[in-house]
Chain A
Amino acid sequence: MKYMSEILFYLSWPLLIVISYQSVKWLISKYEKKEAELIDSNNNSEL
């Protein structure tokens, strides 16, 4: 198809948004989990 590579190239744009969101979601969940563990360990040490 004449425009196949151009169409695929355009489609990389929504793919970037989807991958970015998934990466953000994963990194934030990892960070929040780590923060929660830190707070728990601080609370336990205070007790």
Chain B
Amino acid sequence: MFESIDLALVNWSRAQFALTAMYHWIFVPLTLGLGFIIAFMETIYVRTGNPEWKRITKFWMKLFGINFAIGVATGIILEFEFGTNWSNYSWFVGDIFGAPLAIEGIMAFFMESTFIAVMFFGWGKVSKRFHLTATWLTAIGANLSAVWILVANAWMQDPVGMRFNPDTARNEMVNFWDVFLSPSAVSKFLHTSTSGFVLAAVFVVGVSAWYLLKKREIAFAKKSMIVASAFGILSSIMLIGSGDSSAKTVATAQPMKLAAMEGLYEGTTNAPLIGMALITDAQDKPLTRESQAEFAMKIEIPSALSFLAYGDFDAFVPGVKDLVLGNEEHGIMSYKEKIKRGYEAQQTLMAYKKAQKEKSPEFAALKAKFNDDTWMDNYFKYFGYGAYYDDDPETLEANAFKMVPPISLTFYSFHIMVALGMWFLLLFMIILFLIYKDKLADNKVILWASVWTIPLVYIASQAGWIVAEVGRQPWVIQDLMTTSRAVSQIDTGSVMITFWLFAITFTSLLIAEVKILTKQIKIGPKKEGGKQ
């Protein structure tokens, strides 16, 4: 089944999309969170009339603006790539994926972009309250535009609310609310937006700590840190809550991703959650039914994974091998069986197309299958698995094991994200405690730790997306379409060239952003009535 696919094209297309998405996600989370931090600061200014708060607001707004302007460029390219590099995907599910993406475009361009202009250029030109409203609407607009792209992403991980149309070979949306209000969509939005809030809070805390280390702008820095730490603590709590809910949706919709996140090969009841471990990469050689999880060391929390996944300490959590080979005792259908069913669904679609073209008498019976909910649930549901079919049982089993995502990368990304998330919460609490004890300015260890936590929060943020996107491989749409089938049949050389062009452009943008930001940070907030 794999002969017709140019793997170089698939891999370069994947690399290009991953590159664009990862660069885009460097800029976006700061916009999501810093918008609200600025809105809090400006609200205090409008309520108290204290010009110090206007000064604080304007400084962070300047950094927000630099980040926003550079981030927009990467986002636009990302949307174009769906059409240029992933046209089969766009054809197969464009009817569903296109709707939230279009709403995202409207939100981003009309709401966010309109009010951001007032926010930057409206000081002294519009009333204080109107300006404040524009700041709030910019922050809300940025997050509302994120809702839609995250709803679209969640749908790819947990496709609901659609029906396959065999005439067009496309999935069509039948219930918008099923898509918008799916548990995966809600968890994804809350987890992703609050991760942006935490990132922005760490950024503000880290930059402010640098001023304290340099013994500059002491009052400005402490006030900024209070706003950011308070927002950071509450956002971190919600981040943990939404992470828990994400784990539960992953356990239901993507059990293989959960098994990869924990390096769980053999399913078990009272499954422990790994707190810390060094995994030996068993994927150096192809996975087989003999493969075992190999850890150089690990520290586990008993029964915690069962509780995290199913809210029950005694629940059975399937491992990689339970999913690939099946587990009758726990009612888990094997990948091998799903591949056979998916293959039958694909063959039925081909027969349908042929019968339609030839006006064959079999057409009515084939059409009836696509209208039969039982057949759709038992066969079409596994449509994508058919790409791994082979007549030879041994090859079929080997193909089934090829469907396991990269375990080490998913495992480490997940644990790095969780560990760093806990550190950020602890840091915010320490900062607030030390400020109120008036001991922060003298504590160089915490101040330097705050500065160095800025790169760490970006690592955690990227790690989260690696878990989400690498952990769901080989699917571009869970169970329905593999990544290799979604790619556009274009020249591999073109993708390679554009990959390097994007890599150079994005890296240049990132260097420009870091340089401009550091320059503005070194200049510091504007003195009231004077030059910077």
- A side interface size, CB within 8 A: 21
Q: Across the interface, which residues of B come within 8 angstroms of A7, CB to CB?
A: 181
| B43 and A28 within 8 A (CB) | no
Q: Are A20 and B245 in contact (CB under 8 A)?
A: no
In the complex, chain B residues whose CB is within 8 Å of the CB of A31: 222-223, 226, 435-436
> Does A6 reach chain B (CB closer than 8 Å)?
yes
CB <8 Å contact, A28 and B227: yes
Alpha-carbon gap, A35 to B219, bound state (A): 10
Complex Cα gap A16–B33 (Å): 12
Q: State in angstroms the CA–CA spacing of A7 and B219 once bound together.
A: 41
B-side contacts of A25, CB under 8 Å: 40, 43-44, 47
* Minimal beta-carbon separation of A26 from chain B (angstroms): 9
| B413 → chain A closest CB, angstroms | 25
> Which residues of chain B from 422 to 474 have any CB-CB distance to chain A below 8 Å in the complex?
432, 435-436
B181 touches A13 (CB 8 A): no
Q: Does the CB pair A24–B435 fall under 8 Å?
A: no
Task: Decide if B231 touches A12 in the complex (CB within 8 Å).
Answer: no
A31 to B219, CA, bound (A): 11
Cβ contact of A6, chosen from B181, B194, B223, B435, cutoff 8 A = B181
Cβ-closest chain B residue relative to A4: B181
B86 CB within 8 Å of chain A: no
- How far is it, in angstroms, between the C-alpha of A11 and the C-alpha of B187 when the chains are bound? 12
Q: Do A10 and B189 touch (CB < 8 A)? A: yes
B190 touching A12 by the CB < 8 A rule? yes
Tell me whether B43 and A13 are in contact (CB under 8 A).
no
Bits for B204-244, please: 1 = Cβ < 8 Å to A, else 0.
Answer: 00000000000000010011001100110011001000000
B177 at the interface (CB under 8 A from A): yes
CB distance from B104 to the nearest CB of A (A): 16
Contact partners of A27 in chain B: CB under 8 A: 226, 230, 432
Which interface residue of B222, B226, B235 has the most chain A CB atoms within 10 A?
Answer: B226
Instruction: Indicate whether A41 reaches chain B with its CB closer than 8 angstroms.
Output: no
CA distance A31 to B195 in the complex (A): 27
Bound Cα distance A1, B157 (Å): 24
Within 8 A of A (CB), among B40-78: 40, 43-44, 47
**Complex interface: chain A residues within 8 A of B189 (CB):** 10, 13
Count of A-B contacts judged by CB separation below 8 Å: 64
Complex: chain B residue closest to A10, CB-CB: B186
- Separation in Å of the A41 CB from the closest CB of chain B? 13
Contact A21 B43 (CB under 8 A): yes
Q: Given the known A-B contacts A20-B40, A21-B40, A31-B436, are A9 and B245 also in contact in the complex, defined by CB atoms under 8 Å?
A: yes
Query: Is residue B193 contacting chain A, with contact meaning CB distance below 8 A?
Result: yes
- A1 to chain B: closest CB distance in Å? 11
Complex contact B194–A16 (CB within 8 A): yes
List of A residues within 8 angstroms of B222 by Cβ: 31
Shortest Cβ distance from B143 into A: residue? A13
Whether B44 and A28, one on each chain, are in contact in the complex, defined by CB atoms closer than 8 angstroms, is: yes
Most chain-A CB neighbours within 10 Å: which of B227, B432, B436?
B227
Interface 0/1 of A16-47, CB less than 8 Å to B: 11011101110110110011000000000000
Contact of B235 among A16, A21, A28, A30 (CB under 8 A): A16
Q: In this complex, what residue of B is CB-closest to A30?
A: B436
Question: What's the Cα separation between A31 and B227 when bound, in Å?
Answer: 11
B352 at the interface (CB under 8 A from A): no
- CB of B487 to closest CB in A, whole Å: 33
Interface centre among B186, B187, B222, B235 (most CB of A within 10 A): B186
Provide the residues of chain B in CB contact with A6, threshold 8 Å: 181-183, 185-186
Asked whether B36 is an interface residue with its Cβ less than 8 Å from the other chain, the reply is yes
A9 touches B186 (CB 8 A): yes
| Contact status of A20 and B181, CB under 8 A, knowing A6-B186, A9-B190 | no
Complex contact A12–B40 (CB within 8 A):
no
A23 to chain B, nearest CB (A): 5
Q: Would A24 and B227 count as touching, CB distance under 8 A?
A: yes
Complex-state Cα separation, A38 to B231, whole angstroms: 26
Compute how far the CA of A24 lies from the CA of B143 in the bound complex, rounded to whole angstroms.
Answer: 20
User: B190, A20: Cβ atoms under 8 Å?
Assistant: no
Minimum CB–CB distance from A29 to chain B (whole Å) comes to: 9
Q: Known contacts A25-B44, A27-B432; is A20 also within 8 Å of B186 by CB? A: no
Name the residue on B nearest A34 (C-beta): B436
Q: Given A3-B177, A31-B222, A31-B223, are A24 and B40 also a contact pair (CB < 8 Å)?
A: yes
- Give Cα distance in the complex from A47 to B461, angstroms: 53
CA distance A30 to B230 in the complex (A): 13
Docked Cα-Cα span, A47 to B181, in Å, equals: 65
Cα distance, A34 to B235, chains bound together (Å): 26
Say yes or no: A23 contacts B194, CB within 8 Å: no
B181 to chain A, nearest CB (A): 4
23 contacts between A and B (CB under 8 A): A6-B181, A7-B181, A9-B187, A10-B181, A10-B186, A13-B143, A16-B194, A16-B234, A16-B235, A20-B231, A20-B234, A23-B230, A24-B44, A24-B226, A24-B227, A25-B43, A27-B230, A28-B223, A28-B226, A31-B222, A31-B436, A34-B436, A35-B219
Given A31-B436, A35-B219, output 13 extra A-B contacts at Cβ < 8 Å: A3-B177, A6-B181, A9-B186, A10-B189, A12-B190, A13-B143, A16-B234, A20-B36, A20-B234, A24-B227, A28-B226, A28-B227, A31-B226
